[in-house]
Amino acid sequence: MTAIQVERLIKRYGDVLAVDEIDFTAPQGATVGLLGGNGAGKTTTIAMLLGLLIPTSGRITMLGHDMAKDRFAALARMNFSSPYISLPHRLTVRENMRVYGHLYNVARVDRRIGELAAELDLGLILDRPAGQLSAGQKTRVALAKALINRPEVLLLDEPTASLDPDTGDMVRTWLERYRAESGCTILLASHNMAEVERLCTHVVMLKQGRVVDRGSPDDLLTRYGRADLEDVFLDIARDRRQAVAA
C-alpha cells in the first residue's frame, strides 16, 4: 500500500511558484526523506500534506484518502512534529499533551503520556510550563506530542534540531523502533544528512520547488560519485551535478 501519494502538486503565491508540479510516493512502513535548501518548497509541501494549505492544483492521497475531499479521515491517523512550532507557553508539558490527546480521542491519555515520558526522557519536565523549556527539551516534547495518537503517518520537520548528539541518537533509535514495531510511514525533512542516511530508505531532492533527483541514499551516492549525502546535497544546491557526472 502507498501511504502518501503526491501527483503534479503545484502551489502558487501570486507570481511566486513555491511548489512546481512535484510527484512522489511513500510506501507504507517506509521512511522517506524530503530534502532541499531553504526555499526549496519542503515546508510548503508538508503544509499541503497536512491540509493547512490548499494546493493550486494537483492531488494528494494520504492513507487512501483524497485530501481535497476527505482529509479529516486521514488526519485522525496522522501527526506532525516541528521544533519551530511552539506549544502554549503557560500550559505544562503534561497539560499540552492532554489537550492533544483529547483532540485525537486517545484512550487512557494519562497512561499514554506516561509511556512517552519514559521513552523520551520527559519525566522531570512534565509539570514544567512549556515556555520554560530549553530548545532541546522543546524538540523532545514536540515529538512526544506527535506520537500521542500512535500515528500511521508521521511528518517530521527537523526532528532532532537543537538536540545534543547523545539525545539525538536516542531519538533516532526510538523513531527506528517505532517505525519497525508500528509499520508507521515517516516523511522526514532534515538538513542532517547523516540522519537521512541512517533513517531513510528513499530520498526526494527539491530545489526551487521542483524535484531534481530521487532514489535510495546508496543510489544517490553512486550516481554522484560521493561518499556521503552531504556532498550530494551540495552538488545539487550548487549545480555541480553535470561536472561530477562527467
CATH number for the domain that contains residue 207: 3.40.50.300
pLDDT digit string, tens, across residues 134-175: 988 998 999 999 999 999 999 999 888 888 898 899 889 999
According to DSSP H, which parts of 109-164 are helical? 109-119, 135-147
135-147 and 93-103 are packed helices; what angle lies between their axes, rounded to 10 degrees?
20
Do residue 144 and residue 179 come from a single domain? no
Q: What is the pLDDT of residue 239?
A: 84
Mean pLDDT throughout 207-235?
Answer: 94
Domain of residue 131 covers: 86-150
C-alpha cell at 123: 519525566
Do residue 52 and residue 161 come from a single domain? yes
Mean pLDDT throughout 42-71?
Answer: 95
Do residue 69 and residue 16 come from a single domain? yes
Overall domain count for the chain: 2
The residue among 40, 1, 34, 22 whose CA lies nearest residue 155 is 34
Do residue 67 and residue 159 come from a single domain? yes
Do residue 105 and residue 227 come from a single domain? no
Do residue 186 and residue 212 come from a single domain? yes
Mean pLDDT throughout 62-89?
Answer: 92
The residue among 62, 74, 31 whose CA lies nearest residue 183 is 31
Q: Which residue has the higher pLDDT, 191 or 184?
A: 184
pTM for the full model? 0.91
